[in-house]
């Protein structure tokens, strides 16, 4: 269905995506992890712009879709592809008794989907912030964070909370069981995101690690302990601006994630291309099994790596750390 031109909005909010520098998957088991919010954002616009109409309309410009939130259509399972967002809207409606009549919610994201960059948490964070502002719910950051965490369970049953926390707070964070500790952004290095082009689901990868744990508990614990050590070491490296040591920890973390079975030959190839190009560190990021890899590099290495990736036809882009997290509020009174 054709999406109409963006209408005047009463509120507009946005939230960044994230990359995990170290500790994905281990973080699901309560281990610490280090992640940074990135400069790609999802945006949400909310307006009551269809007077006299009953249902909420959800515009998803990235999919060129315009969905009417009608219980009968939802029951038929027609919105399966957008289940996370639709369920989140329904949960918010029930919990806060929201009047959705004539409301239009427009969502858009600069983040590629299902690529380990936290697109779902970013979209839900922008949406939670948009509903909070529009309906004057007065939610604080912790409440929004918790709502998004609950919403994330649609995508995988046991989210660690790291994605939503980064999307809400922004910055570079050391994260452990919901507690955060801000870290400085390493100086003089660049962060390259490399797309494997292999689609995958985070839930499947989380399940793969769970199966590994059941099958080989001792090996699982050994890897978990090694990852915890790496994360602690990397935290100190970041605090001391020791990017060489941080990079080494990233390579080591990739090797350990590979042993848990969440890498992919394409990701391993990308890590090797980055190593050969002189990256300080490289590894898969997020759920793995495809999705994206990241590389930490200085300027000469960046040039080498991007040239090599281009020759292989592997898409990549630089990101910077976002320090703002969830942003936005009323933009224009169209009442
Ligand atoms: O693939 P993403 O962006 O959803 O990242 C998942 C990170 C995991 O550690 C694998 C899962 C989690 O809940 O932390």
Question: What per-residue confidence (pLDDT) applies to 279?
Answer: 98
Ligand 1 atom with the smallest distance to the CA of 119 is 3
Q: Which residue has the tokens 């100190």?
A: 236
Q: Is 27 in the pocket of ligand 1 (CB under 6 A)?
A: yes
From atom 13 of ligand 1, which residue's Cα is the shortest distance away? 159
DSSP 321: B
Ligand 1 centre to CA of 182 (Å) is 19
d(CA 254, CA 223): 11
Cβ atoms within 10 Å, residue 181 = 11
Q: Which residue has the tokens 């750390």?
A: 321
Annotated catalytic sites, by residue? Answer: 163
- Ligand 1 probe mutation, 16, 17, 18, 20, most atoms within 8 A of CB: 20
Alpha-carbon Rg for the chain, nearest whole angstrom, is 20
Question: What per-residue confidence (pLDDT) applies to 4?
Answer: 38
From atom 14 of ligand 1, which residue's Cα is the shortest distance away? 160
Q: Is 25 in the pocket of ligand 1 (CB under 6 A)?
A: yes
Ligand 1 centre to CA of 255 (Å) is 17
Q: Is 161 in the pocket of ligand 1 (CB under 6 A)?
A: no
Cβ atoms within 10 Å, residue 241 = 14
Alpha helices in the chain (DSSP H): 71-75, 83-96, 119-134, 141-152, 162-169, 202-215, 217-239, 243-259, 265-276, 299-312
Please check whether residue 199 is in contact with residue 218, taking contact to mean a CB–CB distance below 8 angstroms.
no
Q: Is 41 in the pocket of ligand 1 (CB under 6 A)?
A: no
Question: What per-residue confidence (pLDDT) applies to 329?
Answer: 72
Please check whether residue 125 is in contact with residue 326, taking contact to mean a CB–CB distance below 8 angstroms.
yes
d(CA 38, CA 17): 5
Give pLDDT < 70 ranges for the chain. Answer: 1-9, 332-335
CB within 8 Å of 26: residues ≥ 6 apart? 33, 224, 227, 228, 231
d(CA 183, CA 46): 33
Ligand 1 centre to CA of 163 (Å) is 7
Ligand 1 centre to CA of 263 (Å) is 13
């Amino acid at each position: 269905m054709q999406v109409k031109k963006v209408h005047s909005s009463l509120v507009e909010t946005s939230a960044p995506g994230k990359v995990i520098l170290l500790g994905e998957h281990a973080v699901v088991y309560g281990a610490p992890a280090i992640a940074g919010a990135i400069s790609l954002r999802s945006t949400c616009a909310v307006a009551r712009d269809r007077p006299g109409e009953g249902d909420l309309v959800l515009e998803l410009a990235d999919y060129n879709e315009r969905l009417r939130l009608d219980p009968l259509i939802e029951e038929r399972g027609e919105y399966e592809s957008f289940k996370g967002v639709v369920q989140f809207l329904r949960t918010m409606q029930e919990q806060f008794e929201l009047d959705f009549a004539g409301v239009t919610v427009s969502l858009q994201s600069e983040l590629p989907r299902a690529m380990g960059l936290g697109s779902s948490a970013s979209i839900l964070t922008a949406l939670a912030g948009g509903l909070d502002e529009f309906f004057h719910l007065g939610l604080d950051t912790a409440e929004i964070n918790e709502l998004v965490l609950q919403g994330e369970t649609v995508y995988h049953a046991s989210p660690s909370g790291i994605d939503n926390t980064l999307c809400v707070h922004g910055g570079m964070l050391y994260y452990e069981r919901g507690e955060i500790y801000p870290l400085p952004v390493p100086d003089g290095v660049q962060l390259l995101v490399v797309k494997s082009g292999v689609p995958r689901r985070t839930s499947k990868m989380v399940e793969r690690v769970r199966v590994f744990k059941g099958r080989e508990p001792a090996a699982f614990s050994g890897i978990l302990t090694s990852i915890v050590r790496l994360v602690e070491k990397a935290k100190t490296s970041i605090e001391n601006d020791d990017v060489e040591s941080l990079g080494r920890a990233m390579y080591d973390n990739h090797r350990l994630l590979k042993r848990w079975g969440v890498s992919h030959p394409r990701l391993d190839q990308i890590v090797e291309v980055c190593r050969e190009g002189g990256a300080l560190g490289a590894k898969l990021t997020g759920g793995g099994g495809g999705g994206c890899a990241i590389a930490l590099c200085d300027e000469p290495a960046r040039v080498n790596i991007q040239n090599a990736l281009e020759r292989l036809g592997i898409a990549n882009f630089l990101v910077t750390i976002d320090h703002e997290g969830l942003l936005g509020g009323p933009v224009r009174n169209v009442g």
